[in-house]
Structure 1
């Protein structure tokens, strides 16, 4: 069986207005229903914790109760670690706009944030949170080790989905995602998406990720709609946790 995993990243109160547009776009316009995942950040860029916005928490609980899969997506999402190595500094600045929160954390630091975020999100939702996906898909070695201690069933980076407790990879291949920070990034995103819907066809599992700021760019909205239409033709919409049963 071929699968399609669709996710919304950076789910937080500061993006509420955009999220209220993205959800009907996925659920109704593209016919996905609630078979997709939300990557939730407890205190996105320290702009306001989930628990301090009752309306957003109620909305999040309603989506979870309807069947949307909820995944912990860091804690602050902002990379506040001073990087000493050239490689990590390059990743932090070139691959993302200082959003790789877990790129430089030790095992103890990563575990503490995972445990705190998981407990807070479960309290808000009233249900278990099974997985963790690091902001910008960037992990330190310590973060990867901490996934087991935090009892995370699954994790994802840009190239794979794996089960930390079993050290088992359950999906391989690059994520289809979009960048909206500049005209050149938008153009490259559009090209990659059009190529990927063909090039990734042989894969058992294809992943497509939507970010709130994608919906500030009409061409990215149009391309996301096209890509979802193509990918749904021969794939079953799935949740991340279902990969553990394969």
Structure 2
């Protein structure tokens, strides 16, 4: 299914791709707050939402619910929608040392698609895509795994499901174009689950504002938990302001038009 084009032209010069992760009924209020922050800098709904169909198995996206209506309204306004897992919770017993390290140290038990087999990954992707597209009335832009962690089964399922775009910590790629890399560079993001992670993410964001070279398709991702820490909100505000100077906000779908 072709993606609708809400944004004219290609990404040119220093541009920023902004996204709100973990969008679900349980995060509606924080998502509202983060959306307002984005709009103050962007001026239009040129950002993405990563939608979780049933966050931790306790916050299902229900057709016809008030939150479903809200999600469709965001999509109608131009916000891009990505499928972001199904549960956003990792219940797999990982066999390899590498996978166990990623599951333990790169996420707080939320790398849902890191250890899934092909059949399970494809089933969750297909059901999630159908639900989000039915609720929003338009195709999803792509699939982004929770915690940006993909196992072999998830990568194969993502290609076979026909998702146009995916991303991890360091790149955006096109699964339907032999995994062609569309953008490189780390995602600027924040962490709120411990004092040490708060401090380190504040430091990294400050360095990014000061030192990162401006390049096309720089990425910034925020999470509902960020709103619980005033220092993180101030940092996000400053970073959005700094990175938007001299550039323009783009959308992920624009990357498919770049050569």
* TM-score normalised by the chain length of structure 1: 0.96
**Residues 17 and 219 in structure 2, CA contact (< 8 A), matched pair in contact too:** yes
Q: Describe how 1:180-199 pairs up with structure 2 within 5 A.
A: 180-199=192-211
- Alignment partner, residue 126 of structure 2: 115
Query: Can you give the 5+ residue segments of structure 2 that lack an aligned partner in the other structure?
Result: 1-11
Aligned residues between the structures? 245
CA contact (8 A) 1:177 1:208 kept: yes
Give the Cα–Cα distance (whole angstroms) in 1 for the partners of residues 118 and 15 of structure 2: 32
Q: State yes or no: 1:175 paired with 2:187.
A: yes
Name the counterpart of 1:21: 33
Tell me, yes or no, if structure 1 residue 56 matches structure 2 residue 57.
Answer: no
RMSD over equivalenced CA pairs, Å? 1.2
Q: Is contact 1:9–1:212 with CA below 8 Å preserved after alignment? A: yes
1:31, distance to aligned residue in structure 2 (A): 3.6
2:193 counterpart of 1:210: no
Aligned to 2:144: 133
Q: What runs of 5+ residues in structure 1 fail to find an aligned partner?
A: none
SS in 1 for 2:18: strand
Flag as ranges the 4+ runs of structure 1 deviating above 6 A: none
Q: Distance in 1 between matches of 2:238 and 2:87?
A: 32
Say whether residues 1:66 and 2:77 are aligned partners: yes
State TM-score, norm by structure 2. Answer: 0.91
Residue 225 of structure 1 pairs with residue 237 of structure 2: yes
The answer to which of 52-61 and 206-215 deviates more is 52-61
1:209 is paired with a residue whose SS is strand
Structure 2 counterpart of 1:99: 110
8 Å Cα contact 2:116/2:153 also seen in 1: yes
Per-residue deviation, 1:34: 0.1
- C-alpha separation between the residues in 2 aligned to 1:236 and 1:30? 10
CA–CA separation in structure 2 for the residues paired with 1:58 and 1:115? 21
